[in-house]
Structure 1
Amino acid sequence: INQCVCLQPACKQQGMPLSAITPRSQIDLSLRSAPPNLPHGVQMLDLSRNQVQNLTQETLAYHTGFHHLNLRSNKIHFIQPGLFKDMTDLRVLDLSRNHLNVFALSKINIGPLTAVESLDLSSNGLYTGIGSWSLKKISLHNNVILEIEDGAFDSLHNLTELDLSKNSITCITDFNLYNLKVLNLSKNSMELFQSVGSAQSYQLLSLDLSENKMPYFPFLPRQNVLEYLDVSRNHLRSINVSASSERRTFLNHLRYLDMSYNQLKSIPESFFCFMGSLEVLNVSNNCIGSFSITNEGLLPKVKIINLSYNSLQSLTFNENILQSLEKLFLQGNDLTTLDHQVFQRLPSIRYLQLQQNNLKICASEQKQQEAALTDQNHQHPPGCVSFSSVHSLRFLYLSENNLQTLPANAFANTSLKLLDLSLNPGLDMDKDSLSGLEHSLVHLLLRENNISRLNTDLSLLKSLKNVDLSTNQLTSLPMWDKESSIESLNLQNNNLVTVEYSTMLALERSLKTLYMGSNPLNCCTNLGFLHVVQRSKKESNWREITGVSGEFRDQ
C-alpha cells in the first residue's frame, strides 16, 4: 500500500485513510521528530514547518523505506552521517529552508544518497558535498554560494535540472555540464557566462541568467539545442556579432529570447542570422533607437516582438519579412514617424500596441486616390501611418498618441475587433472614421478624449458590444434609430443632462451593464429613461446599473 503520513490536524480532521492523503502542511505542530508509532510501510513523510533540529535515525522513527521525505522549513543544523545510505528507495528529499550552513562548515557530506533524484537545499547557506550519482534535480536557490568549485557536479551524470538562483556567484568561465537541460542562475552577481570551447554537444534547453550584472551577451556552447534564454535585467550595452565563423554561436533551436531591461542601443540584423526557430523576442525597456529586419529569411517563425519603452526613431520591415509575426508591442517610444505602409507588410499581424507615441493616422488608400484625382499635389500627411487594408489586424491600441484627427475610412478593409483611441484629448473623429468596421468591431474605447459630441453613428456597428465613453464632455448621446448590440456602455464622468427615451429603447434589448455615475442628470426630463431602467431592473435584463439611482438632480 502506498502510504503518506500527514502530521497535521487539518488532515486528521478529514478522516481520510493514510493511503489517500497528500499532506500539504500549513500549520506548525512544533514537532522535533516523527512520532514513534508511524505505520509500517510509510513511503511519504511530511514533517515540514516544524521544529526539527537534529536529523537522525531516531528523528525519523528508524524508518528507511521512504520514497519522499519533506523536511522543509525546520531548524535542522545537524544530519547524522550516513543517515540516508540505507534509504535505497528515497527519490525526493526536501531540506530547504533549514540551517544547513552550520552543518556544511563541518565539511561532512549528507550522502550517500543512493537513489535520490530530486534534492532541494534552497535557503540554507553554504553547501558542499552532494554525493549522489543518481541525482536528476538539485535546487540550491537562495543560499550564499560565491563560486562553483571545479568538478562540483562532474560526477552527477544524470543531473538534468540545476537551480542556483539567488546566490552570490560572479562568473561561470568553464560551463561543461553537457547533460544538463535546465540551468537557473538568475539573481546572482554574474558578470560573465562562458562555456568551455568544445565540439561536444550540449543538451541544455533552458538557461536563465536574468537579474545579474553581465555587460556582454553570454558565450554559449557552439553545439547546443537551447530553446529558452533569459538575459533580462542585466547591464548589456551592445551585441557583439563580429566573431569569426569558427567562434559564432548558432542558436537554431532557440524559441524564446528575453533581453529586456538592459542598456542596448542597437541590435544589428546579423545577430538574428542563426535564430531560425525564434518565436518570442523581448527587447523592451532598453535604449534602442532603430530596429530593422530587411534581409529575407530572418526570423521566419517569430510570432511576438516586444520593442516597448525604448527610444525608437525608426522601424523598418521589408516585404516578405516576418511572415509569422502576430503581436507587435511598440508602446512608450514617442514614435512620430513611420513608413505609412509598414503594417501592411506584416501578413499575420493580429495585435498592435502603439500607445504612448505621437503618430498620425492616414486616410484609406481609396480616399487618397480620390483626393489625388482632384488635387495632383495631394499627399499623405507627413509621417502618418496607414491602418487600412491590414487584413489580419484584430486588436489596435492607439491611446496617448496626441491624435488630433481620425480621418474617414481610416480602418477600411481591416477587420478590427478592438480599437482603443483613449487619452487623445481633442480628438476630432470624422463621421465615417469607423466605416468598414460595421461587422467586426466588438470593443471601442474612447475615454478621456474631451469629446463633447460624438459624430460617429455607433448604431451602424452591428457587432459592437462594449463601449467606453467615460470622462469626456458629452452633453447628449447620438440618436439610435436601429436596435443596438451594445452590452456594456460606460458614460461616467460626462456632462449628460438628458438621455433620449428613443435612444434607451434602442439600447434596451441588448444592454446588460450601464455606468452613469458623475453626470448632472435631470430627473424631470428623464422620466422615460427612468422607466426603462426600472423595467429592466424588474425584469432582470440588466446585470449592473451604476450611478443612476440617487444621482439625479432636480432642476
Structure 2
Amino acid sequence: MGTCLWFLLVTVYEVAAFAQPTMHSSCRVVLKNAYCSDVNLTSIPPQLPDGIHTLDISHNLVQNLTDDVLSSYASIQQLNLHANRIQSIQPDLFRNMTHLRVLDLSRNQLHLHAALKMHVGPLTSVQKLDLSGNGLYTDMSDYFLRDAPALMNLSLNGNSITKIGKETFNGCLALRSIDLHNNVILEIEEGAFDSLQNLTELDLSMNSISCIADFNLFHLTSLNLSKNSMTAFQSIDSDQEFALINLDLRENKIHYFPVLPYRNRLIYLDLSRNQLHSVNFTGAAEELQYLRERDELTYVPLPNSKHKQNLCRLLYLDLSYNQLKAVPPEFFSSMVSLQTLNISNNCLRTFILDNENPLNSLKTLDLSFNNLQNLTFGKGTLQALETLHLQGNSLSNLDSAFFSRLPSINSLHLQLNELNVCGPQHDQTSGCVSFSFIPTLEYLYLSENNLLSLPAHAFRSTPLLILDLSLNPGVEISEQALSGLENSLTYLFLREDQLQTLKMNLSLLRKLKSVDLSNNQLTSLSLSKDSTIEVLNLQNNSLEMLEDHTLMALESTLKMLHVSMNPLSCCRNTRLISWVQQGRVTFPDMKMATCQYKKDNEYVEINLSNMKNEHCQAKSGKGQVFVISMIAVLVLGLMVVLLVSIKLCHSRSHRFSHSYRA
C-alpha cells in the first residue's frame, strides 16, 4: 500500500512539473515541448529535460548541426529549425532519432551543404520534411531524399530547381504530397513521378514549364500547374481511370482546351488567364505536333481519333480572361453536374444554350465583361440557376420575359448594359425587360444602363432585398415604382442619378435599412412617418436643410448619416447639429461635413461639430433690432396720424357750432 502511494505521489509530481512552464536558459518548456524561438541561439541548447517531443529553435543563428547535443534528444518527434543559417549537417545525424516525424529545415542555407556533395543520411521515421527557401539547385535535393522511406509530405518550394530528374524521388517512395512551387523548373524527365504510387498532391505552380504532353499520373488527385508558360496540356490515351479531382492551369499560355483523361473524376478545372481562342480540344494535339516538328518535344502521344471529353463529374469550370469568341452549346454536353461556370472577360458576342445541353445543375453563371449582344436560353434550360452575371456587355434587346423563365434565379447582375425596365402593362415588342412576378429574385443590380424611366409597379410580386439603380443620370422614377416592395426591400442604391426630387415615399418601405442617395441634386428629403432606415447617404446634394419632421421620422432607427458636400444652413438645422454634438448618430464624413452662417454680410463655412449658438444669435440679434426699429417707426407714425386726426375733428366741430348759433 505504501509503495503504491509513493508511486502515485511521484507520478503526480512529474505531471505537475511538466505542466508548469519551466525556463531552461533561453528556452521555455511546457509539458513535453521546448520553445527556443528567436533568442539568438547559435547552437542546439543542452540540458533540456529528457523525453521532450517538440523542439522549436526557429528564427535563430544556428549554422551547423552536429550530434554532440541532438543525440541526447532521441525522443524528439518534431524538430523546427526554420529560419536559421544552417550550412552543414553532420552525416547520419538523424539515424538514431527514430521517433522524429516532422523536420522543418526551411529558410536556411542548405545549398552550401549540398555543394559539398554530402548526404544527410537516413531519415528513418521522418514523415514531413520542409526544405523550402534553401537556394537548392537541380539534383541538390538528392542529398536529403536518398533514404527517407517514411516520407509522405515534402516541400521544396522557393528554391532554384530547374529540372526534376527521373531518380529524384527514388529514395522516398511513400510520398503523398510534393510542393515544388516557385522554382525555375523547365524540364521534367519522363517517368520522374511514375514510381510514386501513393502520390496524390503535386504543386508545380510558379515555374517555367512549357507543356505537359503525356500526363499519366493515375493516382494523383490534385495537380497545380498555374503560373507557368504552358501552351498545351494533354493526358495519355488510356482506358484506365484517373483519380484527378482538382486541375489548376490558370495563368499560362494555353491556346486550346486541354485533352483530359476520358475516364476521370475531375471536379475542379481552372483555365482562367490563358490564351484560349477555342474550346476545341483537338486543337491541342495540333499544337503539340507543331512543337514536335520544331524539336521542342521529343515525344508527343497523339490522342485517339475516338477520344472525347467526358466531364460528367465536373462542378467548377473557370474560362475567364481568355480570348474566346464563341462557345458552342455542345461543348457542355457531358457537364451534367456543373454548378459554377465562369466565362467572363472574353470576346463573346453570342451565348446560346439549347434543350440538348441545358446545364440544369448550374447555380452560378458568369458571362460578364464580354461583348454580348445576343443571349439565348432555350426553354427548360438552367433550371437550378441562382446567380447570373451579365454586367459589362451590350445587351439591349432581350425578350421581355427572359428572366422570368429562370425558375430559381436569386441574383441578377445587369450593370453596364442598355436595358429598359417594363411596366406591368407592357407590350411584348416594347424592347424592355420585365422584372415583375419573379418570386425567387432578391438581388437586382441595374446601375449604368442609361435607364430613362422606372415605371410604376415595376417589381410587382418580386421580393427584392437589394435594388441598385445608380448611375442612370436623368432617370424618371415613378412615385409608385417601388410599390410591392414594402415588406422586402432592405438596401436601395440611387447614387448619381441626377435626381432633383424624390417622389417615392421611403417611409412606406417597412424593411428598408440602407439608402444611398449620394451625388444627386436633391433640395429636400421628406419622410412622412417613422422609418426603419439605419444608414442614409446624402453626400453631395443641394440640401440646405433637413427638416425636423424628417429627422424625427429617422430618430429611432438611424445609426449612420452622410451629409457632407451639401450647402447646409447652420441656423436652420439646429436638430441636425444637436445630433452631431450629442453623438446620437455616427457621421463617417464628419471631417468634410460643413454648414454656412452669415457674418458681416458674408457667408462663413464651419464644420458641423464646431457650430455654436452664438453663430446664429449674432444674426438673430441684428434682426431683432431691425424689427424693433420698424415697430417703433410704425407706432410713431400712427401716433402722428392720430393726433392730426383729432385736431382736424376738433376744428370742424368748432366751425359747425358757430354757424348754428348764427
Q: TM-score, normalised by structure 2?
A: 0.75
Shift of 1:167: 1.2
Answering whether residue 104 of structure 2 is matched by residue 65 of structure 1, we say no
* CA distance 1:472–1:92, shift in 2 (3 Å): same
1:522 maps to 569
Shift of 1:183: 0.5
1:192-203 superposed matches below 5 A: 192-203=232-243
**Alignment-mate amino acid for residue 144 of structure 1:** V
* CA distance 1:278–1:258, shift in 2 (3 Å): same
Aligned partner of 1:114 among 134, 146, 149? 149
1:76-115 superposed matches below 5 A: 76-77=110-111, 78-79=113-114, 81-85=118-122, 87-101=123-137, 104=140, 110-115=145-150
2:319 maps to 259
Answering whether residue 370 of structure 2 is matched by residue 310 of structure 1, we say yes
Q: In 1, distance between residues paired with 2:595 and 2:110? A: 67
1:31 maps to 62
**Alignment-mate amino acid for residue 451 of structure 1:** L
* CA distance 1:149–1:532, shift in 2 (3 Å): closer
2:38 maps to 9
Q: In 2, distance between residues paired with 1:485 and 1:262? A: 46
* CA distance 1:122–1:534, shift in 2 (3 Å): closer
* CA distance 1:63–1:407, shift in 2 (3 Å): same
2:617 maps to none
Runs of 4+ aligned structure 1 residues displaced above 6 Å come to 16-22, 58-62, 241-245
Aligned partner of 1:362 among 422, 445, 456? 422
> 1:236-278, CA deviations, whole angstroms, 9 ceiling, x for partnerless residues?
1012278999311110000000111100001010011100110
Partner SS, residue 506 of structure 1? helix
1:113-262 superposed matches below 5 A: 113-126=148-161, 127-128=164-165, 129-131=168-170, 132-240=172-280, 246-262=306-322
Q: In 2, distance between residues paired with 1:399 and 1:147? A: 50
Is the contact between residue 448 and residue 471 of structure 2 (CA under 8 Å) also seen in structure 1?
A: yes
Q: Which of these two proteins has the greater Rg computed from alpha carbons?
A: 2
Shift of 1:4: 5.1
Aligned partner of 1:469 among 513, 517, 520? 517
1:338 maps to 398
* CA distance 1:528–1:94, shift in 2 (3 Å): closer
Answering whether residue 360 of structure 2 is matched by residue 300 of structure 1, we say yes
Q: TM-score, normalised by structure 1?
A: 0.89
Shift of 1:62: 7.0
Instruction: Supply the RMSD in Å over aligned alpha carbons.
Output: 2.7
1:554 maps to 597
Answering whether residue 474 of structure 2 is matched by residue 419 of structure 1, we say no
Q: In 1, distance between residues paired with 2:76 and 2:179? A: 25
Aligned partner of 1:48 among 47, 71, 82? 82
Shift of 1:390: 1.4
Q: In 2, distance between residues paired with 1:482 and 1:11? A: 69
Q: In 1, distance between residues paired with 2:591 and 2:544? A: 12
Aligned partner of 2:447 among 399, 407, 410? 399
1:443 maps to 491
Is the contact between residue 150 and residue 174 of structure 2 (CA under 8 Å) also seen in structure 1?
A: yes
Range with bigger deviation, 242-251 or 181-190: 242-251
> 1:263-318, CA deviations, whole angstroms, 9 ceiling, x for partnerless residues?
00010100111001101001111001111212156212111011111010111112
Range with bigger deviation, 282-291 or 516-525: 516-525
Partner SS, residue 577 of structure 2? helix
> 1:498-523, CA deviations, whole angstroms, 9 ceiling, x for partnerless residues?
11111111110111111111111112
Q: In 1, distance between residues paired with 2:266 and 2:33? A: 38
Q: In 2, distance between residues paired with 1:553 and 1:249? A: 71
Is the contact between residue 508 and residue 532 of structure 1 (CA under 8 Å) also seen in structure 2?
A: no
Shift of 1:50: 1.4
Q: In 2, distance between residues paired with 1:466 and 1:60? A: 64
Q: In 1, distance between residues paired with 2:337 and 2:144? A: 43
Q: In 2, distance between residues paired with 1:497 and 1:22? A: 69
Is the contact between residue 109 and residue 130 of structure 1 (CA under 8 Å) also seen in structure 2?
A: no
> 1:427-467, CA deviations, whole angstroms, 9 ceiling, x for partnerless residues?
11011111111100000011111111111111110000000
The structure carrying a bigger helix percent of its residues is 2
Q: In 1, distance between residues paired with 2:92 and 2:562? A: 67
Range with bigger deviation, 32-41 or 115-124: 32-41
Partner SS, residue 65 of structure 1? coil
Shift of 1:7: 3.5
Is the contact between residue 359 and residue 382 of structure 2 (CA under 8 Å) also seen in structure 1?
A: yes
**Alignment-mate amino acid for residue 367 of structure 2:** L
Q: In 1, distance between residues paired with 2:220 and 2:564? A: 59
Range with bigger deviation, 245-254 or 351-360: 245-254
* CA distance 1:324–1:96, shift in 2 (3 Å): same
1:458 maps to 506
Is the contact between residue 47 and residue 72 of structure 1 (CA under 8 Å) also seen in structure 2?
A: yes
Is the contact between residue 11 and residue 23 of structure 1 (CA under 8 Å) also seen in structure 2?
A: no
Range with bigger deviation, 251-260 or 116-125: 116-125
**Alignment-mate amino acid for residue 444 of structure 1:** L
* CA distance 1:19–1:362, shift in 2 (3 Å): farther
Q: In 1, distance between residues paired with 2:594 and 2:54? A: 56
Structure 1: state its 5+ residue gaps: 369-378
Instruction: Give the length in aligned residue pairs.
Output: 531
Q: In 2, distance between residues paired with 1:284 and 1:394? A: 23
* CA distance 1:21–1:420, shift in 2 (3 Å): farther
Q: In 1, distance between residues paired with 2:387 and 2:530? A: 34
